[in-house]
Amino acid sequence: MQNIKLTIDKAFGFVSKESVAGYKNTASAANKALHEGTGKGNDFLGWLNLPTSIDEAHLADVENTAKILRENCEVVVVIGIGGSYLGAKAVIDALSNSFDWLQTDRKAPVVVYAGQNIGEDYLFELQELLKNKKFGIISISKSGTTTEPALAFRLLKTQLEQQQGKEAAKQLIVAVTDKARGALRTLAVQEGYKTYVIEDNIGGRYSVLSPVGLLPVAVAGFDIRQLVQGAVSMEKLCGVETPFEDNPAAQYAAVRNELYKSGKKIEILVNYHPKLHFVSEWWKQLYGESEGKDNLGIFPAAVDFTSDLHSMGQWIQEGERTIFETVISVNEPNNKVLVPGDDANLDGLNFLAGKRVDEVNKMAELGTLLAHIDGGVPNLKIELPKLNEFYLGQLLYFFEKACGISGYILGVNPFDQPGVEAYKKNMFALLEKPGFEEATKAIKARL
């Protein structure tokens, strides 16, 4: 197996090679602080050695639970929000057929999501979809008290019990939550659901390689062993023993901090394969929640190319010069499509006849890279040899490790998210939740 590859030289017209090399000591110290547990948020480092700590018994247990859901369900609803669903959706979408839900000869249940919004139409339509279907639920909430997933779980649990009977429903529900605390844990114990623990020291956005991600990915029919193996190899490559120059996580952390210092306040993650859209959503949460605090932090945004070259492309090429891009490039697609010749050639595309569609995509990628550099947009590139479980596992761990190092270089705690509480407090006050009486009075006075 190869490794995913980071290339940063197209940033060097904008920041100097020497200035990035100058991060050697800071980045290595940040990496060391992670491993020695001496930095900020050091009670949330359970993700650091997670890949190498996953044992055979755990994988077999997750696979067995997935098998039960796969054999008994047409649809499995993954309930969760933020870090409790984005990682699973990122991996499942990246590995699935783009038209997955229309496949008739399915070998795995359709995986759908709930609890990641409070849209009433979304929930109504989901309930309609599940009517008379054999469905199961994986309810994921570390705190076990988050409103969005709790609300969705209440609705879907009720529906499942009505459709299957209370006892049968219990066999089709899996809870992934804290080992002792929270309403979901209480309910799971009371009802006797199969459960998995999210360890105290693993925050939501760093939990994709825990059962939070592994169980849904296994249900969808993908190889969680390869995913973990990929992450294991990246854990080793990004370790403290690897010199700064060869450590992709340290290099990425260094160059993005230097770009940020030079005025590049926005990073866009770019893909050229639409099935990577949710990898970007996962990445946005990872970097946004980890670094966006203390009035600091690169704003993480994402685009799907070439689609967005026909919309955001204008801004990226000629808008305010505060942006740099990180491109996820897949070297070899899993399938081959050749452009056919056409006698009439009315569309003028015969110059492409016999070429792979991917060659067109790659030239779009190269042409865009050159245009963006000319337009003042530094470019970083992460190459994946192929889109499969192993390289996705590498990519996920690489981003996690780089995020920890990058946050420490920036000087923030990359493992907390105090800002997320502000909207919740207001929402509970507005909904007159018991215990929020004072806040309710205060907020109503503002309306």
Which residues of the shown chain bind ligand PA5 in the complex (CB under 6 A)? Answer: 81-84, 141-143, 146, 149, 203-205, 289, 417
Kindly state the smallest distance separating residue 361's Cβ from ligand PA5, in Å. Answer: 32
Q: Which residues pair with 140 in a beta bridge?
A: 176
Kindly state the smallest distance separating residue 297's Cβ from ligand PA5, in Å. Answer: 15
Q: Is 369 helix (H, G, I), strand (E, B) or coil?
A: helix
* d(C-alpha 28, C-alpha 240), whole Å: 7
Q: Which lies closer to ligand PA5 via its Cβ, residue 206 or residue 272?
A: 206
**424 noted as active-site residue:** yes
Contact 257, 298 (CB under 8 A): no
Kindly state the smallest distance separating residue 399's Cβ from ligand PA5, in Å. Answer: 14
Kindly state the smallest distance separating residue 146's Cβ from ligand PA5, in Å. Answer: 3
Q: Is 440 helix (H, G, I), strand (E, B) or coil?
A: helix
| 273 Cβ contact list (under 8 Å, min separation 6) | 330, 333, 387
Distances (CA, A) of 253 to 90, 213, 256, 260: 22, 24, 6, 11
Which tokens is 189 given? 């114990």
| 406 Cβ contact list (under 8 Å, min separation 6) | 30, 252, 253, 256, 257, 287, 290, 291, 414
Report how far Cα 414 is from the mean position of its chain's Cα atoms.
16
**289 noted as active-site residue:** yes
**C-alpha angle with apex 31: 29 to 33, nearest 5 degrees?**
65
Kindly state the smallest distance separating residue 355's Cβ from ligand PA5, in Å. Answer: 43
Q: Which lies closer to ligand PA5 via its Cβ, residue 78 or residue 387?
A: 78
Least Cα distance to 276 among 392, 400, 363, 390 occurs for 392
Strands 379-386 and 5-7: antiparallel
* d(C-alpha 275, C-alpha 224), whole Å: 18
Look up residue 21 and give its DSSP letter. Answer: H
Residue closest to ligand PA5 when measured from CB atoms: 204
**310 noted as active-site residue:** yes
Q: Which of 267, 281, 289, 291 is labelled catalytic?
A: 289
Q: Which of 245, 310, 336, 421 is labelled catalytic?
A: 310
Q: Which of 67, 133, 179, 424 is labelled catalytic?
A: 424
Least Cα distance to 177 among 217, 231, 137, 223 occurs for 137
Kindly state the smallest distance separating residue 332's Cβ from ligand PA5, in Å. Answer: 33
Kindly state the smallest distance separating residue 440's Cβ from ligand PA5, in Å. Answer: 23
| 379 Cβ contact list (under 8 Å, min separation 6) | 10, 11, 324, 325, 326, 327, 369, 372, 373
Peptide bond into 306 cis (omega under 30): yes
Kindly state the smallest distance separating residue 149's Cβ from ligand PA5, in Å. Answer: 6
Q: Which lies closer to ligand PA5 via its Cβ, residue 175 or residue 316?
A: 175
Sheet of 75-79: strands edge to edge?
A: 110-114, 75-79, 135-141, 173-177, 194-197
* d(C-alpha 138, C-alpha 62), whole Å: 12
Which tokens is 62 given? 């997750």
Which residues are known catalytic residues? Answer: 289, 310, 424
